[in-house]
Structure 1
Amino acid sequence: MHIESLEYFQKIAEVKSISKVANSSHISQPALSQQIQKLEDSLGKQLFLRSNRGVKLTEAGEIVLKYADNIIRTYNKMLSELTEQHNEEIKIAGEYTIATYCLPCALLNMKFKFPGHNYNLISDNSIKIEQDVINDIYEIGFITKPTEENELIAEKVVNEKVVLISPNSYHLPEKINLVDVLDQKFIVLKEDCIIKENFKQALKNIDYNFENINIISRLESTEAIKTLVRRGFGVAFVPYNAVKEEYAANDFQISRVSDYNLDYDIFIIHKKPEFLSDSVKEFINTFKALGKHICY
């Protein structure tokens, strides 16, 4: 017995007409009649009494109709569960700038490679991400430093370029030495982050204190920083992925510090392979193989 034949049977029993079901289902009437005949043959019972006015269920047909709905719904539920098996949701957490600017396009590229994957992405701080991966809240995390947690594996996957953005009216060169930007008005994130840490270390290397630079605003987000720079209030160090669209639109300038490397690495963290599903291992291996090309 084919489930398709049972579905046709249910429709015919409802409208009491083979021709109407044939028309609505875009199948020829002889072909549909043949489907019903095969169903009757497989059950060894006549299901319909046919006449010029349509069809009527036999006693056997009434019994089959009673069970048909449950059989069809059970079959569809089975298909749904089989589909969900191949559409496993992978829960991913990333530090704010990674989750906001780097991972969305990266996950879109991964979705093209694995249509059966579904990704649930959130942003958080690195300590929380590490603990949530350990506690199976997320399968994968993206942070800016190698983890020290013994239960986790951390592997470098992408190097994020850091650029100095400035208003177009400042006319800063594309390459600039660190000391040559220290007289600028700076806009920074309120919270500590890898960019601020690397900037502080670079200043320390030239015997300059971070607190001595002219910070005109400490903001909650990179989006807010971009707004102030766009309006001509100062300069800021940001991830290139966070500003490449605005730069292409000529909203502001981009400069690179030539004598100090402010770039940072992005690490993928996860549990040991024996604790991971096949889909998660598939994601991790492909993400690592794509490396720097994952975001472009």
Structure 2
Amino acid sequence: MEIKQLRYFKRVADAGSVSRAAAALSVAQPAVSRQIANLEEALGTPLFFRNGRGVKLTEAGKQLYAHTSEILEAVRHAEQNVRDTVGVAKGTLLIGSTPTVIRYLAPPLLRRVARTHPELDLEFTEGFSGYVNEWLSNGLLDVAILHDATRTQHFLTEPLLREELVFVSAAASSDRELGPITLGEIATCRLVLPRRSHGLRLLVERTAAQAHTALSVAAEVDSVEAIKAMVRKDNVATILPRGAVSPDDHLLVRSLRDPSLSRTLILATSSQRPVSQTTRAVIHELKSVVRELVDEELWPGAERYSERPPIYTPKGAVAAGVDRPLAEPPQRLV
């Protein structure tokens, strides 16, 4: 087996299609098919079932897939450790966060890193904070930006910024001038929210519980775009970061009061392995980009968070204002 074959194999398995995997890899489809065929020949067994709608893993393919992420992660770390010894930020680094964060952060950060560290390749992946937490815990990410209500077991974290949360409902011409809305008024609405494993839902429900207010959750959906589509068509409302809603969404956005609601986004890396020189370089650029976006008001509803030392969160603790720093906390991420 070759490393390239395993990388292509994982891409095809994740995409469920050779053509989609080829597009993601920016290579020709025949090249991907050839690598998969060579891998199957080397192992002496088919790894995929082929059909008109794509591909599915065979039992042998499932066995190989179970080891692939760990193998590729070990190779990537070995490559990065060797590159760090020569003092140049290079290689591939994966950042994961929520859809809103990726929407505002990825384009300017990619441009900046291409200019300052041309030998470094950045990749981004998005998901609700519960998923991002799991990916970082499993070693699939180098850097994560998480919600502060998310469990952060064995992470090095530091606050990055605050995001305002707003009430979002279907827009009507008579609603354009409506002011802030209270939690009591929201309790009369049917809501669509992410599932309880994600930070946004945890924060909303914790705030409601503190106010002794029961919310009516009509549906649980782990997709920002799907949530907004339901708000437009299905007589439901939601609570989202202000930056998640644009004028093109044609939705009504109202500030919250009694209480107002915001979330802190935290920068996180795993404390289970050293932070490489390349990761430190990217974190430095990331924080600079965030400051520029907030100061120039290019990230709606975001404000800078005053800097403080990173926190080591013991297993089981929740980083939501109850973190317990060690007597001698680890060094800053940058």
Query: What's the TM-score bracket when you normalise by the shorter of the two chains?
Result: 0.5 to 0.7
Note if 1:225 corresponds to 2:227.
yes
Equivalent residue, structure 1, for 2:308: none
CA contact (8 A) 2:170 2:252 kept: yes
CA distance in 1, matches of 2:293, 2:195: 29
**Counterpart pick for 1:186 among 168, 182, 191:** 191
1:230-249 superposed matches below 5 A:
230-231=232-233, 233-243=235-245, 245=246, 248-249=247-248
CA distance in 2, matches of 1:198, 1:138: 24
Q: CA deviation at 1:119?
A: 1.5
Equivalent residue, structure 1, for 2:310: none
Q: CA deviation at 1:129?
A: 2.9
CA distance in 2, matches of 1:222, 1:250: 12
Q: SS at the partner of 2:269?
A: strand
1:114 partner letter? V
CA contact (8 A) 2:147 2:200 kept: no
Q: CA deviation at 1:157?
A: 1.0
**Counterpart pick for 2:156 among 153, 156, 162:** 153
Seen in structure 2, the aligned counterparts of structure 1 residues 191 and 149 have a Cα distance that, compared at 3 Å, is: closer
Size of the alignment, in residue pairs?
Answer: 199
CA distance in 2, matches of 1:193, 1:275: 27
Q: SS at the partner of 1:220?
A: coil
Q: Per-residue CA shift, 1:116-174, capped at 9, x if unaligned?
A: 232122245244233234xxx32212221376544x31011122221111111272723
Q: CA deviation at 1:291?
A: 3.4
Question: Which one has a larger percent helix, Structure 1 or Structure 2?
Answer: 1
CA distance in 2, matches of 1:292, 1:191: 30
1:26-105 superposed matches below 5 A:
87-94=90-97, 98=98, 100-105=99-104
Equivalent residue, structure 2, for 1:209: 214
CA contact (8 A) 1:93 1:140 kept: yes
Q: SS at the partner of 1:161?
A: strand
TM-score scaled by length of structure 1:
0.58
1:182 partner letter? A
Seen in structure 2, the aligned counterparts of structure 1 residues 285 and 101 have a Cα distance that, compared at 3 Å, is: same
Gaps of 5+ in 2: 1-82, 299-334
CA contact (8 A) 2:109 2:289 kept: no
Equivalent residue, structure 2, for 1:197: 202
CA distance in 1, matches of 2:211, 2:89: 55
2:134 partner letter? K
CA distance in 1, matches of 2:169, 2:94: 36
Equivalent residue, structure 2, for 1:256: 255
Equivalent residue, structure 2, for 1:70: none
Q: SS at the partner of 2:138?
A: helix
Runs ≥4 residues deviating over 6 A: none
Q: CA RMSD in A?
A: 2.9
Seen in structure 2, the aligned counterparts of structure 1 residues 181 and 156 have a Cα distance that, compared at 3 Å, is: same
Equivalent residue, structure 2, for 1:165: 168
CA distance in 1, matches of 2:144, 2:260: 25
1:233 partner letter? N
Seen in structure 2, the aligned counterparts of structure 1 residues 107 and 127 have a Cα distance that, compared at 3 Å, is: closer
Rg larger in 1 or in 2? 1
CA distance in 2, matches of 1:110, 1:263: 24
Equivalent residue, structure 2, for 1:5: none
Seen in structure 2, the aligned counterparts of structure 1 residues 232 and 131 have a Cα distance that, compared at 3 Å, is: closer
Seen in structure 2, the aligned counterparts of structure 1 residues 294 and 278 have a Cα distance that, compared at 3 Å, is: farther
1:220 partner letter? D
CA distance in 2, matches of 1:275, 1:250: 42
